[in-house]
Amino acid sequence: MSSKLILVVDDSAVARGVARHVLTKAGMGVHCAASVADAVSFLSEGGRPDLILTDFNMPEADGVALIDRLRHSRTMSETPILVMTAGTDPSDKERAKSAGATGWILKPFDTEKLVSAIERLTH
């Protein structure tokens, strides 16, 4: 059985590194992108992740912009998308859900809960 491929999108190198470590340790494949543009490039070049884990706040385009774009994509419209953020503003969560986010993870994330959520969404 092949491992699941997770696309991690976060402008923080530390956050990408932690996510990569946790997910790789759990037996998942990981591709990291430092921006929405990097993620879109990976996807347009044929990358087909089983799940996308995206930061909410990023400088040039936020996670909601990525979600909105993917939900209007023929090939990525059904891919589960988890948003991760340190923010606790309920309106941010509502924006992400309205755009089509599958779920929400608070940073710093509980590694077991993150892995469990990904496994549940990619079964």
Report which residue type is found at 38: D
- pLDDT category at 1 given cuts 50, 70, 90 is very low
Return the higher-pLDDT residue of 89 and 13.
Answer: 13
Q: What is the DSSP string of 64-105?
A: HHHHHHHHT-TTTTTS-EEEEES---HHHHHHHHHHT--EEE
Whole-number pLDDT of residue 96 = 93
Most confidently predicted of 18-32, 54-68, 107-121: 18-32
Arithmetic mean of pLDDT, 27-54 = 96
- pLDDT category at 2 given cuts 50, 70, 90 is low
Whole-number pLDDT of residue 123 = 85
Of 17, 18, 16, 27, give the one whose Cα is nearest residue 118: 27
In degrees, to the nearest 5, what angle opens at C-alpha 101 toward C-alphas 6 and 32? Answer: 25
Task: Give per-residue pLDDT as tens, 55-66.
Answer: 999 988 889 999
d(CA 81, CA 102): 5
d(CA 47, CA 31): 9
The domains found in the chain, sorted by start residue, are 5-102 (3.40.50.2300)
d(CA 122, CA 69): 21
